[in-house]
Chain A
Amino acid sequence: MDDNLFKKLRILSDAAKYDVSCVSSGVERKNNTVGGIGNASAAGICHTWSQDGRCISLLKILLTNDCIYDCSYCLNRVTNPTERATFTPDEVAELTIQFYRRNYIEGLFLSSAVEKSPDHTMENIYRVLELLRYKYNFWGYVHVKVIPGASPMLVQKTGMLADRMSVNIELPTKESLKILAPQKKIENIIKPMSLINNEITRTIEDKKYFNNTPRFVPGGQSTQMIIGATPDSDKTILSLSQNLYEKFNMKRVFFSAYIPVISSPNLPAISSMPPLLREHRLYQADWLMRFYYFHSEELFTEIEPNLDLEFDPKMMYALRNIHKFPIEINKASYEELLRIPGLGVTSAQRIIRERKNAELSYDSLKKMKTVLKRAKYFITVKGKYYGNVNLEPEAIRKELTQQEIQKQLSIYDML
């Protein structure tokens, strides 16, 4: 390793850090090859947390930032005078192994700008995987980006060696894409998504008959969307996510708050703040769709195409649909319990489990460490309502805001 490596690593990790996904979960694999190194843990493992509080699980870098495209929201675009660097596939593989041996990481997340052509870039991404899997015998987690426009054959053979692939949808609508990323054709994004999905299904089918069929991206595919660079509403964003989950069996749709780094008439001003809270709310809503049986449609009304920034989406849903409450703890189904603000999967399961022994009282809920501070406005226990105000959205809103203010006060008191 030469000293140039420090510089390359600086440039190419800097360019990759805005990518949100750092997930290494969902694949369970033992180290089964002779001389092999590495395995994959289904639960996912965080190795450290950066100063912004994000979990670091994978070595997340670009293969190159030397791009031929000109997407207006991106620092790597061809017309932006920035320092360029390109790793050799060998350098990436070697760095991954050395970090992995020291338990710094679970594996690699390799992304890239489009250097020379989509195929040229995809070929190099494939080379990295080939080196890792066959030269180093590495069986840790690898997630790679698919370069839109790369040939299907290349995508196919890369997917046979990767744990996860992602094609970024980039923006929520075709129109936004046309304005901000004119060289990226929506077809070139959708086609590989559908190829990946078909290959996953095919290899799962084959595996039923031929035991040793390798699985195509066992960790599934994900995608990423930029939030706040365009005027698209939360409703547009979440119904697109819902579609992606349903059509392509996406494991995750990631949102990335646009951080204004470039001035352009089509983009928010440099001085504007990145919409971090909005991104957070979108993730919460996405969570409701994936684990709480919510449909994107349910979250919005004709006049409200956006999430509430003040309250989390479940609270927002409850306040917008107050006629569906209160819910009786001793009778509600699992799905209904999950609709109660402040009540999560663990609490819901515990309630179901424990009410088999005996009818639950308000005190027994408290003992279960169920968070009642917010839930109490939306439930009855043995028919009794425990909220200190009436079941009216405005009154509850006021109470909750009060709670927030008090929480902040007590933090200041401690200082």
Chain B
Amino acid sequence: MDYLYDGTFEGLLTCIYYHYKKEEATGIYSIESYQQNILNRSEEVESDVEKAKTVSDAINKKISREAYEDVYYCFLSSVTNKENIILDFLVFAFKYGRNTMNFYSHDKVLPIKEVSLKVSREVHGFLGILRFSDIEGILFARFSPDHDLLILLVDHFADRYKYEKFIIFDEKRNKACVYSDNYWEVKENINFDNLEYSNDEKRIHSLWKQYFNDLAIKERININNQFQFVPGRYRKNMVEFK
């Protein structure tokens, strides 16, 4: 049976639930991207919080916290076929339980590890290269990550800027996280156009740019190296590269 889910994490875990409790899954696909075929029957699965929780508890308890994180990170990735990477991994992992992570290079484990690593690398990268501007007292950051990792960034900044108000805006997916007073929420279908910087703000941008440009040691210029660390696609939202 091909299970089709609504694109949410709960939906995906619900499919895993049915794989065990109802009928084995031949694959899991999002409803949007599913291509009907003659070989497999398919069924749309309705997200069920309870069932999803049963599965997530089982992953945490029977496999490991690390496995749960890998599953979640893989889910947030923009890798096509990520649902089946997760399915394959979980089927394997529920068999081997706590030992699973010793099979790093196994066909059913390596793919999820690689995807999860990709996502966590991008998260770590953005902790550094996300740029805020002060717009009327609110810190505003715009970015377009490869993977859907907005909510993985929030905790870090919510602690760092605990007494500030901030907005982190994923311009690729049109969603934003809005934080103030120890509380945050994600707003979907949102847009921020034509934001104006004050003169004070522009001044600080210029100070930073000047500092950034002066810092390079002429004798050691190595543009290739720099490109490896800050790929071009990230630069459009970084003050110092504008």
Contacts and interface: CB of A to CB of B under 8 A. Distances in A.
A103 B132 contact: yes
Nearest to A357: B102
A99 B105 contact: no
Contacts of A52: 216-217, 220-222, 225-226
B220 A276 contact: yes
B205 to A, nearest CB: 8
A43 interface: yes
A340 interface: no
A405 to B, nearest CB: 20
A103 B210 CA distance: 16
Contact of B128 (A38, A45, A95): A45
Interface string A16-59: 01100000000000110001111101010111111111111101
B196 interface: no
B229 A46 contact: yes
Given A14-B214, A17-B214, A259-B219, A45 B127 contact: yes
Interface stretch (A4-12, A282-290, A296-304): A4-12
B131 A102 contact: yes
A354 interface: yes
A5 B204 CA distance: 11
A17 B164 contact: no
Interface string B119-142: 000001001111111100001010
B229 A55 contact: yes
B161 A48 contact: no
Contacts of A356: 102
A102 B132 contact: yes
Contacts of A49: 225-226, 229-230
Contact of B226 (A51, A57, A259): A51
Residue of A5, A49, A367 ringed by the most chain B CB atoms within 10 A: A49
B62 interface: no
A53 B229 contact: yes
Majority secondary structure, A binding face = loop
A18 B204 CA distance: 24
B238 interface: yes
B159 A59 contact: no
B240 interface: yes
Contacts of B156: 41
Contact of A36 (B131, B162, B228): B162
B160 A37 contact: yes
A57 B124 CA distance: 13
B124 A354 contact: no
Contacts of B222: 51-53
A15 B127 CA distance: 28
A48 B163 contact: no
Nearest to A368: B105
A149 interface: no
A101 interface: yes
Contacts of A30: 159
A259 B219 CA distance: 8
B38 interface: no
Contacts of A364: 105
Interface in A330-361: 350, 353-354, 356-357
B138 to A, nearest CB: 11
A98 B204 contact: yes
B103 interface: yes
A89 interface: no
B104 A51 contact: no
A45 B153 CA distance: 13
Contacts of B212: 48, 50, 56
Contacts of A48: 128-129, 212, 230, 238, 240
A133 to B, nearest CB: 16
A104 interface: yes
A35 B229 CA distance: 34
Contacts of A41: 127, 156
B210 A10 contact: yes
A6 to B, nearest CB: 6
Contact of B160 (A39, A98, A104, A350): A39
Given A52-B221, A55-B229, A13 B211 contact: yes
B124 A102 contact: no
A60 B229 CA distance: 20
Given A13-B214, A51-B226, A364-B105, 4 more contacts: A17-B216, A52-B221, A99-B208, A102-B204
Interface of B: 102-105, 124, 127-134, 139, 141, 156-157, 159-164, 203-204, 206-208, 210-217, 219-226, 228-230, 238-240
7 contacts: A5-B207, A17-B214, A36-B163, A50-B212, A52-B217, A52-B225, A103-B131
User: Lowest 7 CB-CB distances: which A-B pairs, in order?
Assistant: A53-B225, A51-B216, A52-B220, A49-B229, A53-B222, A50-B216, A47-B128
